[in-house]
């Protein structure tokens, strides 16, 4: 296989780094005097290892929370703090030691508190190592925390984990690779520090200071032993950083099916601002299956997150008579958009991650959702459909009182999507209360008894699914429901479109007024006995069914048929819905229904 220029350039650097080590190994193998018998060698090694380990521990305890705060609160203040943290990287180590003396030297206030014992002691070595090594962990950890998907925190909160638990179980765990690298660099930088140690704590000797003293007194021969020791210590540190503890496989227990749930209608009165976007919507559902329908950017997901309690100060949310609760206490199952799973957890641990997850119930859902045999796999080893099922199983394993679904099937292929819809519908029929966010009208019709239609953060229409789908209150709602909209002119008893009359009983639009009228594809019936006729401008074959596009003077209608047709067809349509052009307001319903 040909190697590209990047491989060759990288290889040159590797050679440059390796040659001194090889030359040192050759020198050591032929030398009779290496310096292992020199006094002070082993105490210097002990001082270096001990002080580097203490310094790394102190930096970890103080630096990881700081790194997390910097990652989660970006802004000018964070930028200023990051610059301050990075300054020691640009200072010569001797100058860093001088700066530390200004703080802890024997004649400073802090030094006086300790009677001058902070310098010329192991404490002084630790203090100098903390100053020069802290940036390596803090900056590395900050970048790792910033890369953690914030939605994972929301998901963990919906599964009952409180903030501190989320920090350890999610943020720290997901960012662990970068943090582990930062800890390794910090320890290596600390054990190799020379300049700051010389200024702050010349005694006791650390290994770098001891090596320089030996070099000044005897030359290279006696420096071989400390060099061998520090290389060995570094190799051990690198090896330890690569260790991964094996965890036992999670045990899900004997599967037990869920018990029927009680219906939990949801009510909400929300007023939320997100940047320039303003969501203002209120609805009190009467049924336990609610769908929130709307185009992208309408506020659907923000509404669902508010119901889950993930948007502070969003407004009032009630379900099942419960008062306002923190998100951790709401006992909701939240399945977010995008197949969010914890990347560091296997399937078995994903479904048991909820604070009060039931192992037997989790085992049931693993089997019911076709995840058996996948318990040991991580998210990157799963297909999109499998990841979506794991997310659903994790939510259901807590026996949620309310299941919140944010476009849960949008990323799935058609067969898997159909299968998942059927599974959710089966759960609903068994008593599971749901709020479904979707932009798919067919999905909303299948999985809801009530529909809330949103656009640009406002409520367009809400009510029973059958009523909203047959009597959309305005053209915007009709388009979302899949209606074809055409132009026409109101006449007594209906709408004229070209030279054809489309009847609309009970019309209340003044004759002669321009209107929009609409009908769903399922209401257009093609047949020889039809009262209307139109040209077929397009046809698409779906196997036994053909989708026809019928051209009319006011627009186009879609129809489905299983019969062969020519260039012109006869058809009937009904019911139709009519709206006056330019007269639709927020509180207005459809004016005419055929």
Question: CA-based angle 418:424:429, to the nearest 5?
Answer: 125
Q: Name the least confident of 244-258, 446-460, 464-478, 546-560.
A: 244-258
Tell me, yes or no, whether 34 and 182 share the same domain.
yes
pLDDT of residue 584: 45
Residue 57 domain-assigned (yes or no): yes
Averaged pLDDT, 111-122: 87
Residue 90 domain-assigned (yes or no): yes
Number of folded domains that form the chain: 3
Distance CA 563, CA 545 (A): 8
Residue 251 has pLDDT above 80, yes or no: no
Q: Is the peptide bond before 250 cis (omega within 30 degrees of 0)?
A: no
> How many CB atoms are closer than 10 A to CB 312?
9
CB 433 within 8 A of CB 416: no
Tell me, yes or no, whether 214 and 279 share the same domain.
no
Residue 548 domain-assigned (yes or no): yes
Distance CA 458, CA 480 (A): 15
Tell me, yes or no, whether 577 and 513 share the same domain.
yes
Residue 505 has pLDDT above 70, yes or no: no
Residue with tokens 């049924």: 287
Closest CA to 288 of 268, 318, 264: 264
Distance CA 235, CA 238 (A): 5
Residue 305 domain-assigned (yes or no): yes
Residue 587 has pLDDT above 50, yes or no: no
Tell me, yes or no, whether 391 and 276 share the same domain.
yes
Tell me, yes or no, whether 120 and 201 share the same domain.
yes
Please enumerate in sequence order all residues whose Cβ is within 8 A of that of 81, keeping only pairs 6 or more positions apart, or say none: 66, 70
Distance CA 161, CA 559 (A): 51
For the chain, the first-to-last Cα distance in angstroms comes to: 72
Tell me, yes or no, whether 387 and 441 share the same domain.
yes
CB 159 within 8 A of CB 194: no
Question: From the centroid of its chain, how far is CA 410?
Answer: 16
- DSSP at 510: P
> How many CB atoms are closer than 10 A to CB 421?
18
Q: How many CA atoms lie within 13 A of 567 on its CB side?
A: 0
Instruction: Characterize the bridge pairing of strands 434-438 and 266-274.
Output: unpaired
Question: CA-based angle 41:45:46, to the nearest 5?
Answer: 120
Going by pLDDT thresholds of 50, 70 and 90, the confidence category of residue 591 is very low
Averaged pLDDT, 462-474: 92
Residue 261 domain-assigned (yes or no): no
Going by pLDDT thresholds of 50, 70 and 90, the confidence category of residue 594 is very low
Averaged pLDDT, 577-593: 59
> How many CB atoms are closer than 10 A to CB 372?
13
Tell me, yes or no, whether 142 and 184 share the same domain.
yes
pLDDT, averaged across the chain: 89
Residue 14 domain-assigned (yes or no): no
Structure token pair of residue 496? 């004229």
pLDDT digits (tens, 9 = 90+) for 346-378: 999 999 999 989 999 999 989 988 898 899 899
pLDDT of residue 507: 56
Residue 169 domain-assigned (yes or no): yes
pLDDT of residue 386: 87
CB 395 within 8 A of CB 405: no
Domain span at 553: 473-593
Residue 23 has pLDDT above 70, yes or no: yes
Q: Name the least confident of 320-329, 516-525, 572-581.
A: 320-329
Distance CA 462, CA 479 (A): 15
pLDDT of residue 64: 97
Q: What is the CATH number of the domain that holds 365?
A: 3.40.50.300
Q: Of 175, 208, 241, which residue constitutes the final position of a domain?
A: 241
Residue 419 has pLDDT above 90, yes or no: no
pLDDT of residue 339: 65
Residue 198 backbone dihedrals phi, psi, to 5 degrees? -60, -40
Structure token pair of residue 163? 């903030």
CB 100 within 8 A of CB 196: yes
3-state secondary structure of 541: strand
**Predicted model pTM:** 0.83
Residue 582 has pLDDT above 80, yes or no: no
Tell me, yes or no, whether 64 and 112 share the same domain.
yes
Residue 11 has pLDDT above 90, yes or no: no
Tell me, yes or no, whether 456 and 500 share the same domain.
no
Tell me, yes or no, whether 71 and 219 share the same domain.
yes
Residue with tokens 């590797």: 14
Map 284-349 to HEC letters.
Answer: ECCCCEEEEECCCCCCHHHHHHHHHCCCCCCEEEEECCCCCCCHHHCCEEEECCCCCCCCCCCHHH
Tell me, yes or no, whether 173 and 290 share the same domain.
no
Residue 51 has pLDDT above 70, yes or no: yes
Averaged pLDDT, 163-191: 95
Residue 510 backbone dihedrals phi, psi, to 5 degrees? -60, 130
pLDDT of residue 2: 61
Averaged pLDDT, 555-569: 92
Length of the chain counted residue by residue: 594
Please enumerate in sequence order all residues whose Cβ is within 8 A of that of 383, keeping only pairs 6 or more positions apart, or say none: none
Per-residue CA distances from 585 to 300, 473, 490, 557, 588 (Å): 21, 9, 19, 26, 5
Q: Of 406, 438, 466, which residue constitutes the final position of a domain?
A: 466
CB 410 within 8 A of CB 391: no
pLDDT of residue 162: 94
Residue 133 domain-assigned (yes or no): yes
pLDDT of residue 446: 93
Closest CA to 210 of 25, 39, 31: 39
Residue 231 has pLDDT above 70, yes or no: yes
Structure token pair of residue 259? 């018990």
Q: What is the CATH number of the domain that holds 169?
A: 1.10.3720.10
Tell me, yes or no, whether 307 and 334 share the same domain.
yes
Residue 142 has pLDDT above 80, yes or no: yes
Q: Of 433, 449, 466, which residue constitutes the final position of a domain?
A: 466
């Amino acid at each position: 296989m040909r190697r590209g220029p990047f491989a060759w350039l990288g290889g040159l650097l590797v050679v440059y780094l390796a040659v001194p080590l090889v030359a040192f190994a050759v020198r050591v193998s032929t030398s009779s005097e290496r310096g292992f018998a020199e006094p002070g060698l082993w105490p210097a090694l002990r001082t270096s290892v001990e002080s580097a380990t203490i310094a790394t521990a102190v930096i970890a305890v103080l630096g990881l929370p700081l790194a997390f705060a910097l990652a989660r609160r970006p802004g000018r203040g964070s930028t200023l703090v990051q610059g301050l943290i990075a300054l020691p990287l640009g200072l010569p180590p001797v100058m860093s030691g001088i700066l530390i003396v200004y703080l802890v030297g024997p004649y400073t206030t802090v030094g006086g508190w300790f009677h001058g014992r902070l310098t010329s002691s192991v404490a002084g070595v630790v203090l100098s190592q903390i100053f020069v090594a802290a940036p390596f962990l803090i900056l590395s950890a900050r970048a790792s925390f910033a890369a953690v998907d914030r939605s994972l925190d929301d998901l963990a909160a919906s599964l009952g984990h409180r903030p501190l638990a989320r920090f350890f179980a999610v943020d720290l765990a997901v960012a662990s690779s970068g943090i582990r690298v930062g800890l390794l660099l910090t320890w290596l930088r600390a054990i190799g520090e020379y300049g700051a140690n010389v200024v702050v704590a010349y005694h006791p000797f650390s290994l770098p200071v001891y090596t320089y003293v030996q070099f000044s007194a005897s030359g290279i021969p006696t420096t071989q032993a400390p060099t061998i020791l520090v290389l060995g210590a570094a190799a051990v540190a690198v090896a330890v950083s690569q260790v991964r503890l094996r965890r036992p496989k999670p045990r899900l227990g004997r599967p037990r099916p869920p018990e029927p749930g009680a219906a939990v209608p949801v009510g909400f009165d929300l007023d939320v601002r997100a940047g320039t976007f303003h969501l203002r919507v209120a609805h009190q559902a009467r049924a336990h299956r609610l769908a929130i329908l709307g185009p992208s950017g309408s506020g659907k997901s923000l509404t669902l997150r508010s119901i889950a309690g993930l948007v502070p100060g969003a407004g009032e949310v009630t379900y099942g008579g419960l008062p306002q609760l923190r998100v951790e206490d709401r006992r909701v199952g939240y399945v977010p958009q995008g197949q969010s799973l914890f990347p560091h957890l296997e399937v078995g641990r994903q479904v048991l991650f909820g604070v009060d997850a039931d192992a037997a119930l989790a085992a049931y859902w693993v089997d019911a959702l076709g995840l058996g045999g996948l318990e040991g796999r991580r998210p990157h080893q799963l297909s999109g459909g499998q990841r979506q099922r794991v997310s659903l199983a994790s939510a259901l394993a807590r026996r949620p009182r309310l299941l919140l679904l944010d476009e849960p099937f949008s990323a799935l292929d058609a067969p898997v999507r159909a299968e998942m819809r059927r599974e959710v519908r089966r759960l609903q029929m068994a008593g599971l209360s749901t709020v479904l966010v979707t932009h798919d009208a067919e999905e909303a019709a299948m999985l809801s008894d009530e529909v809330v239609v949103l656009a640009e953060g406002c409520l367009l229409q809400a009510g029973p699914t059958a009523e909203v789908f047959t009597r959309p209150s305005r053209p915007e709602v009709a388009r979302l429901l899949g209606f074809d909209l055409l132009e026409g002119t109101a006449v007594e008893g209906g709408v004229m479109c070209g030279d054809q009359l489309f009847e609309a009983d009970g019309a209340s639009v003044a004759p002669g007024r321009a209107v929009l009228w609409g009908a769903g594809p399922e209401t257009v019936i093609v047949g020889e006995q039809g009262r209307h006729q139109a040209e077929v401008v397009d046809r698409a074959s779906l196997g036994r069914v053909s989708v026809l596009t019928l051209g009319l003077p006011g627009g186009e209608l879609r129809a489905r048929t299983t019969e062969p047709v020519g260039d012109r067809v006869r058809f009937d349509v009904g019911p139709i819905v009519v709206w006056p052009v330019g007269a639709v307001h927020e509180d207005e319903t459809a004016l005419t229904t055929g």
